[in-house]
Structure 1
Amino acid sequence: MTTHPQIPPQDTDGPGPWWREAVLYQIYPRSFADSNGDGIGDLRGIISRLDHLRDGTPSSLGVDALWLSPFYPSPQADFGYDISDYQDVDPVYGTLADFDELVVEAHRRGLRVVVDLVMNHTSTEHPWFTESRSSRANPKRNWYIWADPAPDGGPPNNWLSAFEKCGPAWTLDPATGQYYLHSFTPGQPDLNWREPAVREAMRKVWRFWLDRGVDGFRADVAHRLLKDERLRDNPPELAPARRHVSVPGMRQRQLDLPEVHDVLRELREVLDSYPGLDGSLAEGRFVLGEVPISDDSRLADYFGGEGMHTVFHIAFWEQPWEGAAFRRTVDGLLAAMRPGSWPTYALATHDISRTVSRFGGWGPARAAAVIMLTLPGTPCVYYGEEIGMADAPPPAGLERDVDGRDGQRTPMQWDASGKGFGTGTPWLAPGPDAGRANVEAQRDDSESMLGLYRRLIRYRGGSAALRRGGYRSLDSSGDSYVYLRQAAGELLLVAVNFRHVPAQVEITGVDLPAAGRIELSTHAGRAGATVPLGPLALGPLEAVVVRLADGVPTDPGATAAPSKGPAA
C-alpha cells in the first residue's frame, strides 16, 4: 500500500476565518450582466444579479464571496490588467458610487467582496509611467525598470514576455534611449518594487479599497513582483520559458525571487490591521494569491505563514482527466505545504479553458465539481461553470484577447436568447450551447448542472467534515479517486469514477464499514440509497459523497468538534 499525506481537521472550538470555509465566485465584470445596453457588463449589472449568488434560499447558488476581476480605468491592452488609475472605476463599468452600492448590497446578503490587486505592472497610460518615461532625470524614473540597450542595440537581456505574441519582455523608448521591462504586453510596464516610493504608493492603494469595505484581494501574479537587481540573463536551459519552469538548482531571474515575500508580508500587515464584517481583527480581511508555479515546494512558501493567506493550486486545473493525476497533484501540495495551510481550488478562470471544454463534456465537469467542492481548501467557482458553459472562441480574425482567452470570457448565459445579459449586442458572442447551458433552463431542474452546484454548496455549508475536516486519500482500483473527509461524528467518503463506463471500485488499505449511505451523486436517483462498499459500484463518470457510520475508527487526522450535520 502506498503511503499518502493526510491532514487533520481544523480546530472547531469557535468560528475560524471566514475565507477558510467560504465558497468563492469569480465574476469577470465585462461578461456578467449589462445594465445599460452597451453590450459590456458593468457593476450595476452585477448588483442586479446578486440574488443568483446568494439570497438566503435554496434557489440561489449559495456562495459566500465574490471576486471581481479588474474594473479600474484602463485602455484595455490586457482587458483591465493594464491599470491607468488604481483608485477609480472605468466609466464603462460605472462609478465609485456604484462600487460602494455593490459592496453594501453584497454585504446585506452575507456576501464578501474580493477585488483584483494588480501590483506587478500598470498601464503605459498611468500617470506614474507618463512621468517616468518623460526623462531619465524624472523623480519617478526609478518607479519602473529601465535599462540601456545591449551592445548590439537589442534588449538588455534574454527575458521573454509571458505572452508569445509579445516577444521579448522589453520595449525601447526612443525618446530616452532605454528599454522598459514588461512581463506581459508592451502596454503593461513592470513596477520597480525595490523603490520605496512605489511601496508607499501601493500601500495607499490597498488602504483605499479596504476603507471602501472590500473584504480582501486576489493578488495577480504575486510571484513576479521582484526581479533580479542586476538584470542578468536567464540560464540557457530557462531562456525559452515564458512562464515558470522548475529545473533543479536553477531559478528564473524575473520571477519567484525570495525578496517577493517581503512585499507580501507588508500586504499582510496592512490587511491584518483591518477588522472584518463582525468588527473583529480575528474575522479579518484576506489575500488570495495567483502564483503560477509548478513546483509544490516553492508554491508552499507563498501561503500559510506571514504572507498570503491562501493561493490557487495552479496544478489542479492543469491535470488530465485521470484519477491518479488528480490524487497525485492534491496529495503533492498537501505534503509540501506548512501545517495549517489552506489552498484554494478552481476548475476554470478567465485565464483557463472552461471545464466542459477541457475535459470533454458535462459528465466529467459534474464529477470535477464534486471534487473541487469536497477537497480540504477553499473552492472558487468561475461564473458560468455552474451552468456548464463551454468555451466559445470567436471566428478567426475576430479575436480580441492578446493571449487567445476570448473563448472562456463570453457573456454569462442567463437565458437562451442572450437578452438576460443585456439588451445590446454583447462584446463577445454567446456560446452555441446557450440553449441548454443557461440559468433559466436549469433553474427549476434539480438534476441540472445548476441543481448539482446548488446541492453541493448547500451540503458543504452544513458539513463540518467538508468545510474543515481531515483528509486522507485511499488506494482504489481502476481509474478512480477516493478519499475520506472526517470531523467528529461525521465521516464521509468521496469516490469518483473517471471512466465513461460503470466501475466496481475496490478500496484498500483502510478498514471501512460494509455499507454507507449516498448523500450526493452526480447521477439522478442515487441519493439516499444504502450501498455496499466492497466494492463500490459507480456509474459512468459518477461521483458520490457517501456517509459512513458515525464514529467508525479511521485515521485521516485528529477529530474535531461535533458537526451540526449537513443541510438536506
Structure 2
Amino acid sequence: MDSRHWWQDAVFYQIYPRSFADSDGDGVGDLPGITANLDHLSDMTGGLGVDAVWLSPFHPSPGADFGYDISDHCAVDPVFGTLSDFDELLAAAHRRGLRIITDLVPNHTSDQHPWFSDSRSSRSSMRRDWYIWADPSPDGGPPNNWLSCFPAAGSAWTPDELTGQYYLHSFTRHQPDLNWWNPQVRAAFADVMRFWLNRGVDGFRVDVPHRILKDPELRDNPPALAGLRRAAQAPSGVRPRNLDHPGIHEVMRFMRRVLDSYPDRMMVGEVGVTDPLRLAAYSGRGDELHLAFNFAFWSQPWSAARFQETVAVAESTLPSHAWPTYALSNHDLPRAAGRYDHDGHGPERMRLAAMMLLTLRGTPFLYYGEEIGMADVFIPATDRFDPDGRDSQRSPMQWDHSEHCGFTTGRPWLPTPVAPGTVSVAAQRDDPGSLLHLYRDLLALRRRHRALTGGSYQAMETGNDGVFAFQRRTGEDRLIIALNLTAAPATAQMPGLPAAGRRLHSTLPRPKSSTALDPLQLAPHEGVIVQLPT
C-alpha cells in the first residue's frame, strides 16, 4: 500500500462487554467496568500494549441473541450503563492512546425495534418495505427453502398472523432481516453510523456484511444448497441466493463513503465466506472494507504446514491495496487455548500461537483473556443462554483468585472457574515467565521493529515439517521467525541465511544472544525471533 494507516500497525483487543468487568455487582459486565480496567490494556499505563479495542454490542436488546438483536442502535442498554458512561469510556481510552471501534449490526434488528413494530403493523405501513416480507408458498408454507443459520430456528421464515405474510430472519425469529434494497434503510443506517462517529468512535466491526443483500426475487437456493445454513457449507463455485449477493459491494461502497466523510476511521467486516477470492473482493478497489476477518486459522489443526498454507493463501489472493488480518479466537468460536490442548500441550502451544499471531504480516485481533490463556469454561445446561451454544467462550474475565475471579461481587451471569490456577491477570502480572508477559514483550517488540508491522513476508523452507518459519523485512531490518510446533527438538535448515543472527526473543526463558542459523536448533515447543546482521 502507498501509505500506512493506524489500523495496519494496530493490535486490536475484543471485549465482550457482558463478560469483561462488572462495576456495580449485578453480575453483568458494563461500560464503567471496562473503563476501570483500561490500564490493563494500554502501554502508556504499563499494561498489555494493544492499540485498539473492539467492543461487542452494548445497545438495548431483549437478549434473544445477546446483543445482536438490537432494539435501539443509538443508545446504551441500561444493563451496561448510559451514553455518558460510553462517552467517558471513549475519552478515557483516547487519553491512554487506545482507539475504540464498536459493533455495527446492519443485517437485522430485534423484533422489538420500533422500525419492525411499525413494519408489521399493516401491509400499508410506511416501513413495511424496510424488512423482507413475502406471501406463503402455494402449499401455505415458507416462501422458499432458505434456512436460518441457527439450527434450532429451522426455516429462515416466520409467519405473522396479523398481516398473513412471512418475514425473513437469518438468525433467530426475533431478528428480522432488514431490506437493504430499500434506500430508506440505507439512509437510516447512515444516520446510525454518523451518530457514533460524531461521538468520536474510531470505526466499526461490521456484523455479517455478506448477508445484508438477498436475491430480490426470493428464489429457492439451488438443490446443492438446500441444506445451507452458513456460507462455509457452500460447495466451491455455487453461489447461494440468501448471502454473498454480488450487489453487496455497492452497499459496502455506500457505507465506506459515510465512513470516509470522517477523518482517520476504519471498518473491519465479519465476512463469513470461505472462498478466498470472494473474501478478497470485499476490499473492492480500496473503497469497501478496510479489513475483512480471515476465518481460516480457526478451522486449522495444530500443523506447521496448515498454518503456512493459510498464510500463503491470504498473501496470494489479497489485492495489493488490501491488508491481511489474523485471529485465534472470538465470541462465536471455541477458544484456542482449549482447541489446541487435546494432548496436554495447550500452554506451550499458546505461547507459540502468540508469537505467530503477533509477527505475521497483517492486523492481529486478540480476544479478551487470550493474553492469559483463558480456555472455554464448562457451563451446565441450566446456566446456558445462547441460542447457538456459545456460552463457554463468553465466560467472565479471570482477573484474580477471589470469588468469581474478580469479575463481580455478585452472582456472575455465566459461571467462572472455581479454581483458575495461574490463569488470571493477578497470577501472571508479576511473573516474567507467564503468557501475559510474553504478550507484553511481543507487543513491545512490534512497536520497536518496523519489519513486524510494515515489513514484507516471505515463507522459509526449513527441511522440517514441524517448523513454520518466515522472514519479515523492511530496509535493513530483517527478522526470522521460526516456530517449532512439535514436542520434540527440531532442526531448521534455511538456505541463504547468514551463519548466525541475534536472538531477540524466545517463547522459552532464554536471554538475547547470538544464535547459529546454519542450522537453527529449536527446543520442543520453541519459537524464536532472530534479527539478521545488516
Under a length normalisation based on structure 1, what TM-score does the superposition of the two structures give? 0.91
Contact 2:405 2:416 in 1 (8 A): no
Instruction: Verify the 8 A CA contact 1:392 1:432 in the aligned structure 2.
Output: no
What is the distance in 2 between the residues matched to 1:302 and 1:432?
44
CA contact (8 A) 1:223 1:255 kept: yes
**Alpha-carbon deviation of 1:397?**
3.6
Matched, 1:271 2:259: yes
Secondary structure, counterpart of 1:104 in structure 2: helix
> 1:141 — aligned with what?
128
Letter in 2 for 1:532: A
Is 2:283 the counterpart of 1:295? no
Which amino acid in the other structure matches residue 484 of structure 1? Q
Per mean C-alpha deviation after superposition, the further-off stretch among 137-146 and 411-420 is 411-420
Q: Classify the secondary structure of the residue corresponding to 2:470.
A: strand
Structure 2 residue aligned with 1:528, among 494, 512, 527? 512
Change (3 A) 1:484 1:196: same
Aligned partners of 2:280 and 2:318 also within 8 Å: yes
Deviates more, 1:26-35 or 1:334-343: 334-343
Look up the match of 1:547. 531
Does residue 1:262 correspond to 2:250, yes or no?
yes
1:565 alignment counterpart: none
Aligned to 1:348: 329
The residue identity in structure 2 corresponding to 1:292 is: G
In the alignment, what sits opposite 1:160? 147
Matches within 5 A, 1:168-317: 168-244=155-231, 245-275=233-263, 284-303=264-283, 305-317=286-298
Give the corresponding residue for 1:37: 25
Letter in 2 for 1:30: R
Q: Deviations over 1:40-97 (max 9, x none)?
A: 000000000000011514x310111100000000001000000000000000000000
Give the distance between the partners of 2:123 and 2:296, measured in 1 at CA: 42
Aligned residue number for residue 388 of structure 2: 403
Higher mean C-alpha displacement, 203-212 vs 227-236: 227-236
Mapped partners of 1:23, 1:432: distance in 2: 31
Query: Which stretch of the first structure deviates more once superposed, 311-320 or 219-228?
Result: 311-320
Contact 1:246–1:295 under 8 Å retained in 2: no
Find the partner of 2:319 among 328, 338, 350.
338
CA distance in 2, matches of 1:300, 1:55: 32
Instruction: Report which structure shows greater RCO (CA 8 Å, sep ≥6).
Output: 1
Q: Letter of the aligned partner of 2:381 in structure 1?
A: A
**Could you tell me how far 1:436 is from its partner in structure 2?**
1.3
Asked whether the 8 Å contact 1:54–1:63 carries over to 2, the reply is yes
Provide the rounded CA distance (Å) in 2 between the counterparts of 1:502 and 1:26.
35
2:113 paired with 1:130: no
Displacement of 1:534 after TM fit? Answer: 2.4
Label 1:432 to 1:354 Cα distance change in 2 as closer, same or farther (>3 A).
farther
1:362 to 2:350 alignment: no
Answer whether contact 2:148 2:154 (CA < 8 A) is retained: yes
> Against the structure 1 CA distance between its residues 339 and 246, is the aligned structure 2 distance closer, same or farther, given a 3 Å change threshold?
farther
> How far, CA to CA, are the matches of 1:432 and 1:266 in structure 2?
49
CA RMSD of aligned residues (A): 1.3
* Mapped contact 2:10–2:51 kept (Cα < 8 A): yes
CA distance in 2 between counterparts of 1:265 and 1:432 reads 48
- Map 1:420-499 → 2, pairs under 5 A: 420-432=406-418, 434-476=420-462, 477-499=464-486
Q: Is the 8 A contact 1:24 1:67 kept in 2?
A: yes
Unaligned runs of 5+ in 2: none
The DSSP-based 3-state class of the residue aligned with 2:298 is: helix
Contact 1:321 1:498 in 2 (8 A): yes
- Conserved? CA contact 1:161–1:242, under 8 Å: yes
Confirm or deny that 1:54 pairs with 2:42.
Answer: yes
Q: Which amino acid aligns with 1:117?
A: L
Match of 2:307 among 320, 326, 348: 326
**Conserved? CA contact 2:405–2:420, under 8 Å:** no
Instruction: Return the alpha-carbon distance in structure 2 between the equivalents of residues 400 and 88 of structure 1.
Output: 23
1: CA distance, partners of 2:90 / 2:125:
38
Number of residues paired by the alignment?
526
**Contact 2:228–2:234 (CA under 8 A) maintained in structure 1:** no
**Distance in 2 between residues matched to 1:17 and 1:92, nearest whole Å:** 35
Q: In 2, distance between residues paired with 1:249 and 1:426?
A: 46
Which stretch has the larger CA shift, 394-403 or 477-486?
394-403
Contact 1:389 1:433 in 2 (8 A): no
Query: How far is 1:11 from its partner?
Result: 5.3
Q: Within 2, Cα distance between the matches of 1:353 and 1:455?
A: 26
Q: Which residue of 1 aligns with 2:92?
A: 105
- What is the CA distance between 1:529 and its match in structure 2? 2.6
How far apart are the structure 2 equivalents of 1:516 and 1:222? 45
Counterpart-to-counterpart distance in 2, 1:83 and 1:239: 29
Structure 2 SS opposite 1:468: coil
Amino acid at match of 2:283: F
Contact 1:478 1:503 in 2 (8 A): no
Match for residue 151 of structure 1?
138
73-82 vs 296-305, greater mean Cα deviation: 296-305
Q: Which amino acid aligns with 1:155?
A: P
Paired residue for 1:382?
367
Does structure 2 conserve the Cα–Cα contact (< 8 Å) formed by 1:390 and 1:433? Answer: no
Report deviation, 1:258. Answer: 1.2
Q: Matched residue of 2:322: which SS? A: coil
Larger displacement relative to structure 2 (208-217 or 356-365): 356-365
TM-score where L is the length of structure 2: 0.96
Return the letter of the residue paired with 1:142.
D
What displacement does 1:432 show? 4.9
Return the letter of the residue paired with 1:294: T
Question: Which range is displaced more, 202-211 or 266-275?
Answer: 266-275
Which secondary structure does the structure 2 equivalent of 1:544 belong to?
strand
Q: Unmatched 5+ residue regions in structure 1?
A: 1-9, 276-283, 551-568
Give me the whole-angstrom Cα distance separating, in 1, the residues matched to 2:405 and 2:422.
15
**Deviations, residues 380-408 of structure 1 (Å, cap 9, x unaligned):** 11100000001013013432111111111
SS in 2 for 1:45: helix
Q: Which stretches of structure 1, 4 residues or more, deviate above 4 A after TM superposition?
A: none
Q: Determine the C-alpha separation between the residues in 2 that align with 1:295 and 1:475.
A: 26
Deviation at 1:462, TM superposition (A): 1.3
Q: Greater CA deviation, 123-132 or 144-153?
A: 144-153
Is the Cα contact below 8 Å between 2:479 and 2:531 reproduced in 1? yes
The match for 1:555 is none
* d(CA) in 2 for partners of 1:153, 1:432: 52
Contact conserved, 1:504 with 1:536, CA < 8 A, in 2? yes
Instruction: Name 1:512's counterpart in structure 2.
Output: 497
